[in-house]
A and B are shown apart, each in its own frame.
Chain A
Amino acid sequence: MLSLNRNSYIPWLSLFLLFISYSLSNGIYITVGRVTYYPVLKSDFMSTLLTILSILLLTLYNYKYAYLIPLSLLSFFSPSIISLILIIPVIFSIRRFDVIVTIILILADSTMLTWVILRLLFNVNSYFSLPLSLFEIGAPALIPIVWIIGIIFYIFPNRKNVSTSKLSVNIILPFIVTLLIALIPYMPNINPTRFPETVDFVYYYSWLVHPKFSGWFFYTRPFYLMLLYIFSHIFKPYPVAYYEFVFLSIFYIYSAYKLASAVNRSIAPLSALLASVSPMLITFLYSGLEANLFSISLMFISLSYLMRKEKLWLAILLSLASMFSHIYAWAQLSGAVIVYYILKIILHKTKLDKYELYYMLFLLPFVIIGFSLILIGIFPVPIQLISFSQLVYQIKVVSWGSNNAFLYYLISSYGNRFTNKDILSFIYSISVIGIFFLAPATNLIIDLPLFIPAAYTLNNIRKDISSLLLIALILWGVYMSINSVPMVY
Chain B
Amino acid sequence: MNPIYLEYKIIDNNISYYIIYVFIYNLSLKLVTIYVVNPNTHIILNYNVSLEPQEIFSNITGNQTFYNLNGNKILAYRSKNLIVAYNGLILKKVTKNTVECLVSANYPGIGNYPFPNLNSLAKISIFTKSVKILISGLLLTFTLSLILWTKVRQDVKS
Contacts and interface: CB of A to CB of B under 8 A. Distances in A.
Contact of B35 (A35, A40, A394): A35
Chain B, interface residues (CB within 8 Å), range: 35 or more
B134 A127 contact: yes
Interface in A95-112: 102, 106-107, 109-111
Contacts of B86: none
Q: Which of B3, B45, B141, B142 has the most CB of A within 10 A?
A: B141
A118 B155 contact: no
Interface of A: 30, 32, 34-40, 102, 106-107, 109-111, 113-115, 117-118, 122, 124-128, 199, 382, 386, 389-390, 392-394, 397-400, 439-440, 462-464, 467-468, 471, 486, 489
Interface of B: 1, 3, 22, 24-26, 30-31, 33, 35, 42-48, 115, 118-119, 124, 126-128, 130, 133-134, 136-137, 140-142, 144-145, 148-149, 152-153, 155-156
Contact of B152 (A114, A127, A467): A467
Contacts of A122: 133
A125 B130 CA distance: 10
Nearest to A39: B115
B46 A128 contact: no
A486 B43 CA distance: 9
Contact of B136 (A118, A394, A397, A471): A118
Contact of A397 (B24, B137, B155): B24
A32 B118 CA distance: 12
B53 to A, nearest CB: 17
A125 B119 CA distance: 13
Given A393-B1, A400-B46, A463-B155, A117 B140 contact: yes
A201 to B, nearest CB: 12
A126 B128 contact: yes
**8 A-B pairs with least C-beta separation:** A110-B144, A124-B128, A110-B145, A464-B152, A114-B140, A35-B46, A35-B44, A106-B148
Contacts of A440: 31
A253 to B, nearest CB: 25
Nearest to A386: B25
B103 to A, nearest CB: 17
B124 A489 contact: yes
A113 B144 CA distance: 8
Nearest to A117: B140
Given A114-B140, A124-B128, A468 B148 contact: yes
A90 B35 CA distance: 40
A97 B110 CA distance: 53
A114 B126 contact: no
B133 A464 contact: no
B127 A125 contact: yes
Contacts of B25: 382, 386, 390, 439
Contacts of B145: 106-107, 110
Contact of A118 (B42, B133, B152): B133
Given A109-B144, A126-B127, 7 more contacts: A125-B127, A390-B25, A398-B48, A462-B156, A463-B155, A464-B153, A489-B43
B141 A111 contact: yes
A199 B127 CA distance: 25
A228 to B, nearest CB: 22
17 contacts: A35-B44, A37-B126, A38-B115, A39-B115, A106-B148, A110-B141, A114-B140, A117-B140, A118-B136, A125-B127, A127-B127, A199-B47, A392-B1, A393-B24, A397-B33, A398-B24, A398-B33
B137 A126 contact: yes
Contact of B3 (A35, A38, A126, A464): A38
Contacts of A463: 155-156
A321 B15 CA distance: 51
A390 B141 CA distance: 38
A193 to B, nearest CB: 11
Contact of B133 (A102, A113, A124): A124
B118 A35 contact: yes
A35 B136 CA distance: 26
Contacts of A489: 42-43, 124
Nearest to A32: B126
Q: Which of B3, B30, B119, B127 has the most CB of A within 10 A?
A: B127
Nearest to A131: B141
Nearest to B23: A393
